[in-house]
Structure 1
Amino acid sequence: MRVVGSNRDETWGRIRTAGVDLLFRHGYEAMNTRQLAEAAGLKPGSLYYYFKSKEEFLYRLLVDLLGEIVADLDEALEALRDATAAQQLDAFVRTLVKWHVQRREETFIASIETRSLSHDRHESYMELRDRFDAMLGEILDRGITEGIFTLPRERIARNAIMSALTAISGWYDPRGPLGLEAITEEFLLLTRRLVGMSAESPREAERLGKAGMNGGRSHSRRV
C-alpha cells in the first residue's frame, strides 16, 4: 500500500497542479502530455507510471477533486448531525461556495471538461457526482418534514441550488470587489429564500434598510 507523503504522492501532486494550470489556461483539447510532463518537471515517459492516456489523467484529476469536495461536505455535515435542516443547508452552501471561490480553477475544469470523458468514464464520474444531489436532497426532505422549508417541487429547488453553486467558478472574478465572505452571505440568503425561509441575517436587514433609504436602486458590478 502506498504511504501518504511518499515520493509517488508528491510527484502526482506536481502533475495534478501542473495539469490544473494547463487545463484552465488552454483546455483539454489543446493540452498534451508532453506539455504536462514539462510543466511538472518530468520526462514524458514518466507520466505513464500514473496514467496511460490524457483522458485517464483527466478522469483521475476529476475524481480526486470530487472526492475532496465530498469529504469536506461529509465533515461539515457530520459536525451538524443533530442540527436543524436549516443549519445543515447553510453548511452545505458555505462549503460549496468556498470551493468554487478559493479553488475556482479546479471547479471550473470540473464543470467544463467532464464533456471530454468517454461515455463509460463520464457515467462513472456522474455516479460519484450524484452524491452532491443526494446530500442536498436529504437536507431538503428533512427541512420539509420539519416544516422549515416550503417547497412545492423539491427536485426543482435542488437543481436550482446546485446549478447556482456550481456556476460560481464560471463568473467569479478574484479581482472584483466581492470576496468569499460577501459572496457566501449572498448565497446563504438566496438559498434560504429559495426554500421558503425568511431572511435571518443581520447583514440582510441592514442591507435592505439601506436599499430602502436609497430608493431601492441597484448597481451592476463585477463580482
Structure 2
Amino acid sequence: MTNELPVRGSWRDYEDLGLPKPLAAALEAFVEQGYHGTSIRDVASRSGLSVPGLYHHYPSKQALLIGLATVVMTELLERSRAAELDAGDDPSDRFDAVIESLLRFHMFRREQSFVASSEIRSMEPDSRASYIAQRDEQQKQVDRIVLDGVASGVFEADHPEDASRAVVTMCVAVAVWYRPDGELSPDELVERYLEIARRMVGA
C-alpha cells in the first residue's frame, strides 16, 4: 500500500486529493480535535469502518498521522520540483516559481499542511526524522536557488540562507491563517507575497 499521490497536470492546478477514507477521516478529526484528542474509534466512525476494519488498513493512530504527513510532503516536493523545472535556468524565475508553488500549496492544502506541521511533536522519533528530512529537502531547494541568485548578481541578500529560511517560513505560515473567503484571492495573495519575498532576498 502506498500513500504517494502523484501530481497531475500543472503544478498550479489543484483538485481533490482523493485521500483514502481512513486518511480523510483522520485529517478531519485531527483538524477539529488535534492528534491527542482523536481516538481510533472516532476515525473509524468517520470513515464508515469498524475499528478492526480500520486497523486492517492502518495499524495505529500513528500510522494515520504518518500517512497524512507522507502524502503532504510527497506532493509538496513534487510540485516544487515541477515549478523549478518549468521556470528554466534564471534564478529569479526559479525563485518566483518555487515560492508561488509553496504559497499555493499552503493555501489549497492548508488543512493537510497544518496537521503535518503542528503535529510533528506527536510523531515517533524515526517518523519525525523522516518528515524533517523531507522538510529540509524543500528548504535546501530554496537555499540553492537564492545562493545561485546571489552568485549571479540578481539577488543581493547579505545573509542568503537566513533570508531563504524566512521566506519559506512565511509561505508555510499561510496554512495557519488563509481562508478561501478571505480578503485576498489566491492570485492576489501570490502577487503580494512574491513582492515581499523578492525584497527579502534582495531581488
| 2:155 maps to 1:149 | yes
- What's the CA shift for 1:12? 6.0
- What's the CA shift for 1:11? 9.5
In structure 1, what is the Cα distance between the partners aligned to 2:106 and 2:134?
18
User: Which residue among 65, 69, 77 is the counterpart of 1:62?
Assistant: 69
Q: Residue 30 of structure 1 corresponds to which residue in structure 2?
A: 37
In structure 2, what is the Cα distance between the partners aligned to 1:49 and 1:138?
42
- SS of residue matched to 2:199: helix
Rg larger in structure: 1
In structure 2, what is the Cα distance between the partners aligned to 1:185 and 1:119?
38
- What's the CA shift for 1:99? 1.1
Structure 2 unaligned spans of 5+: 6-16
Q: What one-letter code is carried by the residue in structure 2 that aligns with 1:63?
A: T
In structure 2, what is the Cα distance between the partners aligned to 1:23 and 1:46?
20
Q: What one-letter code is carried by the residue in structure 2 that aligns with 1:196?
A: G
The two structures have a TM-score, normalised by structure 2, of 0.87
Q: What one-letter code is carried by the residue in structure 2 that aligns with 1:140?
A: V
| 2:75 maps to 1:50 | no
CA RMSD of aligned residues (A): 2.1
Q: Residue 96 of structure 1 corresponds to which residue in structure 2?
A: 102
In structure 1, what is the Cα distance between the partners aligned to 2:33 and 2:47?
16
Listed one character per residue, the Cα deviations across residues 97-121 of structure 1 (whole Å, up to 9, x for unaligned) are 1111112111111220111112222
User: Which residue among 141, 144, 165 is the counterpart of 1:138?
Assistant: 144
- What's the CA shift for 1:152? 1.2
Listed one character per residue, the Cα deviations across residues 168-220 of structure 1 (whole Å, up to 9, x for unaligned) are 111223332211011101111001111112xxxxxxxxxxxxxxxxxxxxxxx
Count of equivalent residues: 191
Within a 5 Å distance, the mapping from 1:11-26 to structure 2 comes to 13-26=20-33
In structure 2, what is the Cα distance between the partners aligned to 1:85 and 1:36?
45
Structure 1 residues 83 and 12, CA gap change in structure 2 (3 angstroms): closer
Q: What one-letter code is carried by the residue in structure 2 that aligns with 1:188?
A: L
| 2:143 maps to 1:164 | no
Structure 1 residues 14 and 159, CA gap change in structure 2 (3 angstroms): same
Structure 1 unaligned spans of 5+: 198-223
In structure 2, what is the Cα distance between the partners aligned to 1:12 and 1:185?
30
Structure 1 residues 11 and 88, CA gap change in structure 2 (3 angstroms): closer
Structure 1 residues 172 and 112, CA gap change in structure 2 (3 angstroms): same
Identity %: 27
- SS of residue matched to 2:35: coil
Q: Relative CO higher for 1 or 2, CA cutoff 8 Å, sep ≥ 6? A: 2
Q: Residue 85 of structure 1 corresponds to which residue in structure 2?
A: 91
The two structures have a TM-score, normalised by structure 1, of 0.80
- What's the CA shift for 1:38? 1.2
Question: Is the Cα contact below 8 Å between 1:12 and 1:50 reproduced in 2?
Answer: no
- SS of residue matched to 1:63: helix
| 2:194 maps to 1:195 | no
